[in-house]
Structure 1
């Protein structure tokens, strides 16, 4: 009966954190609106081979991540929940695999369950795992590959090892289908310290061809299909998306080498107090328990790899948190048995974090805060209250654990609960009216639906328009963004309108019907509107500006 109550509590906590908030938070542009729209277009067209975005070829990623989102939308319909469920599903399977590997390493059910719980409650995992991007999916395949490799490494028979390597290759192949060749490199890099330390090089060389074969077989059908349908896909995907993004001096999202260190630290909350000890004990015990070396390599090697790359995003190191959660869980169980003060320190860190964020929202970013830092407007008191509640919940749970850390320390897993329940209601209008176009599109929906042509100067906003209106014929004005490659095709050129050509384009096309131009205006409110022909009507909300041009013969 006690175990049943415990399982129910876990399921309720999971639902509150990972399922309930999905529908009620607006989609963010450019990421969430992009992935929502690509899958919607796949379902609408029936073409599951070639990704299209606003009806243009989109070769930035392979196809499996879109397929997962396709199935989600097919099952749950045209909703925000469906857009994000693929990420949640992937991160949940990653948590189950994390718990499985923890049990294989220590044969302790408590460590196994705690590893899954810690993984799901880490701030980095929760933030990215409920956000519609492909990183939760690539995390799933890397976790599956690392679990499969450990299965092979610990098998007692040649057949068992062969099976483990075949599963490793399948997971890597699925990763290639999700985000590219990086999925082949990361597992190799991650296992390298363990292979060298355990002197398993000969065994790896013997069985690795099986992994390569299964990876090839699982990815080959779509690879051939896309090459046949779009002969230049692989050239673009390899050189632009792999070489330029990660190595070129002009790579996207450039950041310094140390960029991921603060992300790892903050992302480990609410278990930050355990992090130094978990890493130290893992290193000290690498000889007695080879699994700890395996986990450390899985944390450190991908982290170094991404740190060396020119282009960086905080989502890239999400796979590092699965092994980190196992190390944290094993260390926490040891601390609970010895009554170490570290558990109390962890509670104190969470309390301090919650109070500082509470002070930041309620005293600095609020309308009554310093004018230089104010983020909320005078009419957004309720949003300030929601933000304060989110972090008051974090601080309250931390205080609860602090009063009896030896017995209550594991309740820290609920610290993100306030964020899950309240943060969607705490987003300031300044942010909504720049990054979440759904509300503005809903407000001007009649004007947009009556328009023959819709243009926008922002790809993310264009994706939001297409998703909300369920029409993909959005034109791009002045900025091509990530759709530049697709616009180079003959059939795509007409979908782009340069700034200097807009007046002539408008004069010609308004003869066919009404035209709507939705602009994301610069923060400094440049003279964008002054450079355009006078509109018949204008509607502005924050940085979103809708210009309407009535039809003229």
Structure 2
């Protein structure tokens, strides 16, 4: 009975964390609206080989991440839930695989179960796992690859070993088709120190070819097909998306070497006190416990790899949280048996984190706060109250665990629950207007939809328009942004209108039908009325503005 009760509780928690909130949070631009729209265009066109964005070639990523989103939209329709469900599906499967691996390593169900719980409730995993980007999908394939490699070490016959290596290749191939060549490099980097320590380097070299064959078998059909349809795809994807983004001096998202340390610390909440012991324990047991060192190598080596790369984003280290969660679960079970001090410390961390964030919201970010420019406006008092409730709940969970740390330490899993359920309701208007234009676009839909031409001044806003209006012919105005490469093709002529050319373009094209121009303005440029031709109608909300021009004879 107790096992059934605990199982139902876990399912209920999963539904509250990962399913219930998906539909009720507006999509964020540029990421969520981009991936929503690319998959929508794939389904509309029937072309599942070459990704397109506003009917422009979009070669930044391969195709499997879009395929996952395609199936999600086929199942759940044109909804925010569908846009995000692909990420939820990916991290959920990754958690189940992590449960399997942890159970195989230590043969303890409690540790394996807590590994999955810690993984799914870690702040970074939850934040990215309910957000429509490709990183949850690549995490799934990398976890699958590491599970497959562990399987190769457990089987004894040549046939079973070859099949396990083939599975490893399949996982790497799917990762390659999700986010590129990194999916082939990261598992090797993670495995190598462990293989050397365990004297399995010869086996790695001997059977590595089988994994390469597996990766080729699963990825070659699409890789060849996309090259036939678009011969420039691989040149652009390899040189621009890999070399420039990760190595060159002008790499995107440049950050210092230590960038991921605070990401690792903050992302580990509400389990932060387990982090030092988990890493040190894995290192101390590296000789007598092969599984601990395997997980530690999987955590540290990719972390170093991404730290060396010039381009950095928090999402890149999401796969590192799988082995970290397993090591944390191992540490927590050990501490529970010895009434370890770290369990009490974890309660204090959550209590203090919740209280400090509550004070920050009420004392500084609120309209009456001490900040020179408060984040919340005067009419957003309810949002301030809800934000305070989020962090007071977090603090309350920390306090509850302090009453009996050895028995209640796992209650930390409840700490982010209020955040998960209420975050969509506490986004300040100034952020919502700039980063979540979906609600405004939805309200304006009836006025915008009849327009013959619709323009937006950045790809993020344009993708929001395309998604809400279900049309891919949105034109780019002022800045091409991430679709600059797609605009370089001859058949993309007329898809971008420079600011200096807009008046002349408008005079010519409004003869063909009405025109809608939608802008998101920078904070230092909130008055654009004098900088665009006088409109027949205009609408404003915060930093969003819509200008409409009727058809002329």
Determine if the TM-score, normalized by the shorter chain, exceeds 0.5.
yes
Secondary structure, counterpart of 2:454 in structure 1: strand
C-alpha distance in structure 2 between counterparts of 1:166 and 1:81, whole Å: 34
What's the offset of the Cα at 1:193?
Answer: 1.0
Contact 1:364-1:373 at 8 Å conserved across structures: no
C-alpha distance in structure 2 between counterparts of 1:371 and 1:214, whole Å: 57
> In structure 2, what is the equivalent of residue 273 of structure 1?
273
538-547 or 21-30: bigger deviation = 538-547
Structure 2 CA distance for partners of 1:7 and 1:526, relative to 1, 3 Å: closer
C-alpha distance in structure 1 between counterparts of 2:525 and 2:509, whole Å: 28
What's the offset of the Cα at 1:155?
Answer: 1.9
Written as runs of structure 1 = structure 2, the 5 A alignment for 1:78-89 is: 78-89=78-89
What's the offset of the Cα at 1:530?
Answer: 2.4
> In structure 1, what is the equivalent of residue 384 of structure 2?
384
Contact 1:448-1:516 at 8 Å conserved across structures: yes
What's the offset of the Cα at 1:371?
Answer: 4.1
Structure 2 residue 348 is the aligned partner of structure 1 residue 353: no
C-alpha distance in structure 1 between counterparts of 2:277 and 2:379, whole Å: 46
Structure 2 CA distance for partners of 1:249 and 1:528, relative to 1, 3 Å: farther
C-alpha distance in structure 2 between counterparts of 1:371 and 1:325, whole Å: 37
> In structure 2, what is the equivalent of residue 117 of structure 1?
117
Structure 2 CA distance for partners of 1:421 and 1:526, relative to 1, 3 Å: closer
What's the offset of the Cα at 1:35?
Answer: 0.3
C-alpha distance in structure 1 between counterparts of 2:235 and 2:330, whole Å: 45
> In structure 2, what is the equivalent of residue 318 of structure 1?
318
C-alpha distance in structure 1 between counterparts of 2:278 and 2:491, whole Å: 56
What's the offset of the Cα at 1:373?
Answer: 4.3
C-alpha distance in structure 1 between counterparts of 2:362 and 2:127, whole Å: 22
Contact 2:149-2:165 at 8 Å conserved across structures: yes
> In structure 1, what is the equivalent of residue 415 of structure 2?
415
> In structure 2, what is the equivalent of residue 446 of structure 1?
446
Secondary structure, counterpart of 1:41 in structure 2: helix
Number of positions where the alignment pairs a residue of Structure 1 with one of Structure 2:
553
Secondary structure, counterpart of 1:539 in structure 2: strand
The C-alpha deviation readout for 1:330-363, integer Å capped at 9, x for no partner, is: 1100110111111000110011111111111121
Contact 1:17-1:417 at 8 Å conserved across structures: yes
The C-alpha deviation readout for 1:81-134, integer Å capped at 9, x for no partner, is: 000000000000000011111001100000010100000010010000000000
Written as runs of structure 1 = structure 2, the 5 A alignment for 1:38-57 is: 38-57=38-57
289-298 or 131-140: bigger deviation = 289-298
Structure 2 residue 450 is the aligned partner of structure 1 residue 426: no
C-alpha distance in structure 1 between counterparts of 2:307 and 2:281, whole Å: 24
C-alpha distance in structure 2 between counterparts of 1:422 and 1:263, whole Å: 23
Written as runs of structure 1 = structure 2, the 5 A alignment for 1:55-454 is: 55-454=55-454
What's the offset of the Cα at 1:450?
Answer: 2.1
What's the offset of the Cα at 1:539?
Answer: 1.1
C-alpha distance in structure 1 between counterparts of 2:535 and 2:302, whole Å: 52
> In structure 2, what is the equivalent of residue 7 of structure 1?
7
The C-alpha deviation readout for 1:491-544, integer Å capped at 9, x for no partner, is: 212111111111110000011111110011111116644232111222111111
C-alpha distance in structure 1 between counterparts of 2:363 and 2:251, whole Å: 38
Contact 2:526-2:543 at 8 Å conserved across structures: no
C-alpha distance in structure 1 between counterparts of 2:141 and 2:442, whole Å: 37
Secondary structure, counterpart of 2:547 in structure 1: strand
What is the root-mean-square deviation in Å for CA atoms of aligned residues?
A: 0.9
Contact 1:87-1:137 at 8 Å conserved across structures: yes
Contact 1:389-1:422 at 8 Å conserved across structures: no
| TM-score normalised by the chain length of structure 1 | 0.99
517-526 or 87-96: bigger deviation = 517-526
> In structure 2, what is the equivalent of residue 495 of structure 1?
495
Contact 2:43-2:70 at 8 Å conserved across structures: yes
Secondary structure, counterpart of 2:32 in structure 1: helix
Structure 2 CA distance for partners of 1:102 and 1:373, relative to 1, 3 Å: farther
Structure 2 residue 8 is the aligned partner of structure 1 residue 22: no
Contact 2:397-2:412 at 8 Å conserved across structures: yes
C-alpha distance in structure 1 between counterparts of 2:397 and 2:18, whole Å: 18
Secondary structure, counterpart of 2:535 in structure 1: coil
What's the offset of the Cα at 1:156?
Answer: 2.1
| TM-score normalised by the chain length of structure 2 | 0.99
> In structure 1, what is the equivalent of residue 552 of structure 2?
552
Show structure 1 runs of 4+ deviating over 3 A.
526-529
Unaligned regions of 5+ residues in structure 1, if any?
none
Contact 2:344-2:405 at 8 Å conserved across structures: yes
Secondary structure, counterpart of 2:518 in structure 1: strand
C-alpha distance in structure 2 between counterparts of 1:61 and 1:222, whole Å: 13
532-541 or 409-418: bigger deviation = 532-541
Structure 2 CA distance for partners of 1:99 and 1:430, relative to 1, 3 Å: same
The C-alpha deviation readout for 1:19-52, integer Å capped at 9, x for no partner, is: 0000000000000000000001111111111101
Secondary structure, counterpart of 1:517 in structure 2: strand
What's the offset of the Cα at 1:247?
Answer: 0.7
493-502 or 316-325: bigger deviation = 493-502
Secondary structure, counterpart of 1:272 in structure 2: coil
Secondary structure, counterpart of 2:369 in structure 1: coil
